[in-house]
Structure 1
Amino acid sequence: MAKERRWWPRLPRWAVSLTWKAAVFIVGMCCVLAALLGTLVHAAVTSQTVEQAREKALGRLAEVTDAYKSGEPLPPYASVDPAELPGSLRALAVSGERGTVVNTYNGRPTMWAAGPADGRALAVRVDYTLSARTITGLDRAILGSSVLAIGATLLVGAFAVTRVTRRLHLTAQVARRISAGDLDARINDPRTRNPARPPDEVATVSVALNTMASSLQNKLLSEQRFTADVAHELRTPLTGLTAAAELLPEGRPTELVRDRVRAMRSLTEDLLEISRLDAGSETVDLDLHELGRLAERVVRASGTETEVRVVRDTVVETDRRRLERVLGNLIANAHRHGRTPVVVTVEGLTVTVTDRGPGYPAYLLEHGPARFRTEGGSKGHGLGLTIAVGQAAVIGARLRLSNAPGGGASASLTLPSNPVRTPRSPLA
């Protein structure tokens, strides 16, 4: 299907902001309003000025007409059939009508008035320069005042809109902090602190977001406490169950019971570990370790057929127990859900675990590991990768999950060059 082509150019990022749109709207409305008011004032003043000049010219025309009829000499501003008289006014006077028109005389604005005089045109002229200057000055005053009004309105509007957009940006920042795991983040909007002040729309959104964050935090804390309490309560009966299973006579049923008890015990320990990670109370025990040798030790302890490739070894300062836990979970996950060969590659500060299986499912790559969720009928509880992500965050490492181009899953653990000594809660 052909992609639809847009005929309009792509706007820059700053042009789509609310402040820019508000500024354009304010300027546009001010220009329209200034043009409308300016046109009305110009039309009214021009009409009044022209009417005054016309009455003056017609009054002079009446005086000159009486003087012409009585045979008196005409004043300097009057004459019969002057050459400068506009043709339209001349024709009107010859036809027996009287009229006025604004034109020029010797390059100066002039109001002409003409009437009939024995088949000819008797015309008078009135200097229109002062009236024309008045209209021109008025137009300049209207233009200048409009520019000042637009500028002042734009400044006031930008200030008001900026206050709103600043509060919206603060709301967006707090929302991003909450989505990143900082459930203690809240919007400190002054309109929400004083109940006597009526809230506006932004304050309403702020209150809703704060309420949502509080509800989410309380729910997560309740789930964390429930998980920790359940795990702690299960340890005592599981210890007794383990001891009782060891007293059973040897046989296939006994092996099945012992296997299920070990699985229950492993699940309980995983739940306890996740509850500690959720609480954010974990501390690191830093020491210097050779990364290649540490990876080889983890592979030997796993008891699996895993190849170790040390491309470039290095010495890292990290928490050995937590790093071994992360690598052990990644290797176990590769053998449980992938296919051999499983390869652990050490290259500088990065350790990569790859397999030749079907790869990670789409939901995991998009949203990260989910507790108690596995793909299809796979064995496990979905806690291995969750613990790996949490322990990696505790030691300040970055775990990236991806699918290799040639097939299979790839988990890359990049250790920090500077260790993290006071980590925050990685699974909050």
Structure 2
Amino acid sequence: MRAHARWRRRWPLRTRLALAGSAAVALVALGVCAAAFTIVRYELRHQLDLHLVQQVTLLQQQDRNRELGVIYGECGYLAAPACTQLVPAAPSADPASPYLLPVTATTRQVAAQRHGAYYTDIQVSGHPARMYTAPFAAGQAVQVALRSDAVEQGVRQAGELMAAVAGAGVLLAGALGYVVARTGLAPVARLTATAERIAATRDAGLRIELPPGPPPGRREDELTRLAGSFNTMLGELEQSVAARRRLVADASHELRTPLTALRTNAELLARADRLTPAQRERASTGLHRQLREVTGLVNDLIELARDEEPQPLLEQVRPAALVEHSVFVARDHWPAVAFDLVIAPDTVGLTLPGVPARLSRLLSNLLDNAAKFSPPGGPVEVTLTGSPRDPLELTVRDHGPGIAAEDLPYVFDRFYRASAARALPGSGLGLAMARQIAQAHSAVLTAERAPDGGALFRLRFPAARAIPCRPTDHQGDG
């Protein structure tokens, strides 16, 4: 049984589907032909039996005083009219001439009214015949026979015709099953071929050719939808592979400069006996600064590689307190920048689920980015609005050079730095990390050009809950 199952699984799906469909159609065709043959055979014999019954009825109506053994018709050839003979119940009353039709004990019982009428297939003078035995007069039975070779020939011809039709039906079913399987599984064949090419070439840019879209009001079939979903999956895979390659390339590019500087300063410190105290101090300071940059860059890459926030760390966070604390820290870190904070009164008692440390990192990245591009003494406007009925929205606006139109679609890409920002410190990961944290908290982070100059970042959270803040809720650290 297992060997049979393994042998069957080696067949292609198209072959198995064609065989299954052909077998089903062939069984239906054979069943229909067998039923038709049975009906034709029954009708032909039934017509012959009705003719025999009519002959007996006609005899009974014409004359019930016939002499025993009187024969009507050409019994030698069983031609019309039917061959007929009368048989008494008692053998002693038989006529002197022999009977031409077979007389049995059952015939005597019919004559004695102890048995019902019945039909018999017989041979007379070498010809097949159908005989009907029925009660006639008191103590007599009548036997009527007709040749049945014409009927048997008709049944045989009908059987041959039905067999030919059934054979043609089986062949047609096989051809149609193959065509249907080939046509119906064409998307699967294309999907398989594409998957095999991708596995062989590792090219995620390949796609399955899809047929034109269906007419209005009609839906695509399941296989076409499967092929479309596979193409979508290939697109996502291609983007993932491209993003991974771009991340590796960008990370290696960003790490090359600080690592080169680290190696240079390390080599200088290795020859500390040849350096002046000022040179040693400068090399040591540069080494520590570059170590901090490399450590921060590696930590940012690790955080970007994490797609979701750890669920056990989720808790109810008060956004108003968190924003206030983040602005307080930013003021201390950027003393030359004025941070203007506006918190709507309706947001003070609101809470939302999140990871406080990650949300703090999101806010600090937005504030650091705004402070980096703000002119000395220029304000950074931070506004938090919302209510229990409306989503929370945080806006951070600076009055710097703003975002160029060609840079706007890429500000959240990893390692992307506009031409105006390449001279400033940073790795180009801050905004990418901010968007990832926002998406992990079901929030939407967008960037736009402010109407009067500068950049405007808008962070929209889902609706928060207005519940009293428990002592375990995050209040902020400031």
- Tell me which of 182, 187, 191 is aligned to 1:171: 191
Match of residue 154 from structure 1: 174
Which is further off, 41-50 or 180-189? 41-50
Tell me how far apart the structure 2 counterparts of residues 74 and 142 of structure 1 sit (CA, whole Å).
Answer: 40
2:12 alignment partner, one of 10, 17, 26: 17
The equivalent residue for 2:119 is 101
Structure 1 residue 179: Cα displacement: 3.3
Cα separation, 2, equivalents of 1:249 and 1:241: 12
Measured against aligned partners, the alpha-carbon deviations of 1:367-425 in whole angstroms (never above 9, x if no partner) come to xxxxxxxxxxxxxxxxxxxxxxxxxxxxxxxxxxxxxxxxxxxxxxxxxxxxxxxxxxx
What SS does structure 1 have at the residue aligned with 2:185? helix
Spell out the pairing of 1:299-314 with structure 2 (5 A cutoff): none
Deviation at 1:39, TM superposition (A): 3.9
Contact 1:113 1:123 (C-alpha < 8 Å) held by counterparts: yes
Cα 1:83–1:179 change in 2 (3 A) is same
Q: Kindly state the Cα deviation for residue 169 of structure 1 after the two structures are TM-superposed.
A: 2.3
In structure 2, the partner of 1:185 is: 206
Quote the residue 2:65 is aligned against: 69
Q: Number of matched residues?
A: 256
**Contact 2:19–2:177 (CA under 8 A) maintained in structure 1:** no
Residue in 2 that maps onto 1:111:
130
Is the CA contact (8 Å cut-off) linking 2:120 and 2:130 kept in structure 1? Answer: yes
Deviation of the 1:125 alpha carbon: 0.9
The answer as to whether partners of 2:111 and 2:140 remain within 8 angstroms in 1 is yes
In the aligned structure 2, how far is the partner of 1:225 from the partner of 1:134?
A: 83
Give the C-alpha shift of residue 225 in structure 1. Answer: 1.9
Which SS does the other structure have where 2:141 is aligned?
Answer: strand
Say if 1:54 and 1:100, in contact at 8 Å, map to a contact too: no
Q: Residues 165-196 of structure 1: CA distance to partner in whole angstroms, max 9, x if unpaired?
A: 34312211211232341112111122569998
1:55 has 2:46 as partner: no
Structure 1 residues 213 and 8, CA gap change in structure 2 (3 angstroms): closer
What's the Cα RMSD here?
3.8
d(CA) in 2 for partners of 1:196 and 1:223?
41
Q: Which runs of no fewer than 5 residues in structure 2 stay unpaired? A: 74-82, 88-98, 274-279, 299-478
Percent identity for Structure 1 against Structure 2: 18
* Separation in 1, partners of 2:34, 2:238: 61
The within-5 A match list for 1:126-137 is: 126-137=146-157
Query: What's 1:79 paired with?
Result: 85
Q: How does 1:199-348 map to 2 (within 5 A)?
A: 199-248=220-269, 250=271
Change (3 A) 1:110 1:92: farther
Does the C-alpha gap of structure 1 residues 34 and 49 become closer, same or farther in structure 2, counting only changes over 3 Å? same
**Contact 1:60–1:124, Cα closer than 8 Å, also in 2:** yes
Which one has the largest radius of gyration? Answer: 2
Change (3 A) 1:23 1:85: farther
Aligned pairs for 1:346-361 within 5 A: none
Query: What SS class does the counterpart of residue 199 from structure 1 fall into?
Result: coil
2:147 partner amino acid = D
Report the Cα distance in structure 1 between the residues aligned to 2:252 and 2:217, rounded to whole angstroms. Answer: 47
Deviation at 1:162, TM superposition (A): 1.1
Q: Does 1:46 align with 2:41?
A: yes
Normalised TM-score (structure 2):
0.46
1:139 to 147, 150, 159: 159
Match of 1:121 in 2: 141
CA distance in structure 2 between the partners assigned to 1:184 and 1:193 by the alignment? 25
TM-superposed deviation, 1:157: 2.1
Amino acid at match of 1:79: Q
> TM-score, normalized by length of structure 1?
0.51
CA shift for structure 1 position 211: 1.1
Distance across 2 between alignment mates of 1:18 and 1:152: 20
- Match for 1:105: what amino acid? Q
Which deviations, in whole Å up to 9, do the C-alpha atoms of 1:12-49 show, x marking residues without a partner?
46863223322332333234323432343334333332
* Whole-angstrom distance in 1 between the partners of 2:106 and 2:41: 21
Deviation for aligned residue 1:148: 1.3
In structure 2, what residue type is equivalent to 1:78? T
CA contact under 8 A between 1:99 and 1:113: conserved in structure 2?
A: yes
Q: Is the 8 A contact 2:29 2:166 kept in 1?
A: yes
Q: CA separation in 2, counterparts of 1:128 and 1:88?
A: 24
